[in-house]
Chains A and B, each alone.
Chain A
Amino acid sequence: MLSENELKILEFLKSVKKSNSDEIAKRTGLETNSVLSLLELLASKGYVRIERINVEQYELTEEGKKRKEEGLPEDILINILKGKEKSLDEIKELLRDDYNIAISWARRKGLIKIEQGKVIPKFNEYRSKEFEALISLENADKETLALLERRGLIIRKQRAILQVELIREPQANDIGITYLTHELLVTGDWTKYKFRKYNVRAFPPFYPLAKKHYFKEFLEKVKDVMISLGFKEVNTNYIEMEFYNFDLLFQPQDHPAREIHDSFSVEGKGKLTDKELLENVKRIHEQSWNYTWSQEISLRLMLRSQATATTARVLASRPKAPLKSFTIGKVFRPDSIDATHLIEFHQLDGLIIDDNFTFRDLLGVLKEIFYRLNIKEVKFKPAYFPFTEPSVEVYGYLGKLGWVEMCGAGLLRPEILEAVNIKSRAGAWGMGLERIAMHFLNINDIRLLYSNNIEYIREMKESE
């Protein structure tokens, strides 16, 4: 099997039969060094016979290179004198460092006479044999080369070259080429060649494979489950009035969850134009909890602390039954950030309004949602939330984690339905999604759901 470069060399040798590495390099355009190693390879494959010979070679020294550029000092001397005599001092001024060399070689070669401190040239112009030799070393005679060497203008070096003789011509099926090209296909030449084998067992270089984000994909899957169950998606803003986050959901204004360390506040006040709704909420709070309800407090802005704020907005729009809606959204709560806590996370919140909706129906919906999320076993625990009655917490069985609390739910309290003039019954629920995602993604540090390390994201495996 032959590579393209090996083939190039053999093609050249076919015409000349004998050559050497220097000539091959020159004719094929390959680097001398690669020609040497390619020839070794070809010899080992039996295509050529090689013989290593050392050749002598002259190279210019630093001074030699200078003289080749400028001329030899004695040549310069004759050429500036132009047949006229000049004093030694004048010449010293003109030639400076080269003065001694120029005078001594010009005298030795009999080019000048020196009389009474004056130089008298014997020729009008002069070009020495050594200079000719410097310009083309290969054409210089031995004597001149020896002279140049003595003058320190050239240096003798030994170098190995390979003498090559072709002993076997390449056959069509010897040839291995790397790329199948358009040209090979259209000329049909591909039939002449063999394609080089790769080391297919070697691992490939890095490939930056684009991927969807694992946690985002989980959230999308939850969305699909809700859609498949016939729910309509709704979304509202992160910045919310306390009215929708708390008041409409029947949380009294002195409820512990409304304290400053339990939600993030934002400067400014919201606007509520629905006078009837405001009055209803005020009346219901004051009747039920026996305190003076403050509209100012309810207009304060915050980062929503529960996705139920979105459900509250849906309720405030006084929808007609039957209605099934859901939201998957970010909520924010001050907390320490560690392996199990974040200050922003996702909740799924759902709402069903239907005339004959029952508590058992609600349990059925919840069970079905969890089943479709691949949590097949659930149990229900009585619970307490300000806005639902009866209330329930759903526990799901998560293999090695055992029973885990996952969702709070219940039928909306009559007080809330009254405030928004809904005559039907309504069920609602909210669940955190991070913990369930961690289970299915096999992640045990919640922060990894939002990893800012691209290598972690790249290495993430597809979940089942």
Chain B
Amino acid sequence: MSQIKFIIMGIYFGILLIKSDVASWFRIQKMFHFEEAHMYLVICSAVAVGMLSVFLIKKFKVRTINHQDIVISPKKFHRGNIIGGLLFGMGWIITGSCPGPIFAQIGAGEFMAAFTLIGALLGTLSYSYLKPKIG
């Protein structure tokens, strides 16, 4: 079962979502109200470490543990980055969560997050349906 390692990585990330408080509605509100720097610092330090890792992986042509090449595909720019991004941000502040934290809230026993998940699935479904029209 090669998939088990992904469950373990998910467990690692899930613990961090709760222990960093990133999955908290209150932290998201404080971030958008500029009441505290916690969220900004978490995001910036995470990105800094991510940048350094990607830089090192590329520089030393690091391979996966299964000796395969690591392929990082570019994300092409399109108008969805802007329109979708704005809509995402609006939902982010209302629900106090984004896709990772939705699952973290559910795992932590916050059953109301099931509504966020249902909404997010319906949103994904609607986008899928509209994709030929809106690109």
Q: Do A and B bind each other?
A: no
